[in-house]
Amino acid sequence: MSKVVGTYTGRFDVYRKLCNIKIQIISVPKQKNKIVMSGQGKKNVNGSLLSVKKLMPNDRVNMYGVSIAYQSRGSQQGGPMHNFKDHIALFSEDEKHIDKLLQFLEKHITKKKVIQNSHLQK
């Protein structure tokens, strides 16, 4: 029986648009934890939570961010269904806000796959 083990809400910049995001982590027996995200617009985020990565400000983006990798399912032009790895990035000018989200996601990753992006730091 699957159950919601964590919920996080916050205001993040997604695709250059400020959105109220709601993230739910769902525990599924004998599988990786699932992530379900709503409030970000067109992109449907619903799949196994694979990894998270902190993004530092750089020449193109002057905000802190977190990149979330998750497993998605779909087909291309009516072909057979298959699984693939997809990403979504959430940004905020406040590093503490990003760190709190990162800490929440790290706690719920099944295989603690967390990467610090040191090559993006100034």
The alpha carbon torsion through 109, 113, 119, 120 (nearest 10 deg) reads -10
pTM for this model (two decimals) = 0.82
pLDDT at 118: 42
Task: Rank 2-16, 30-44, 72-86 by mean pLDDT and report only the highest.
Answer: 2-16
Of residues 119 and 18, more confidence is placed in 18
pLDDT score recorded for residue 77: 83
DSSP state of 119: G
Question: Would you state the pLDDT for residue 112?
Answer: 44
Q: What is the pLDDT of residue 119?
A: 45
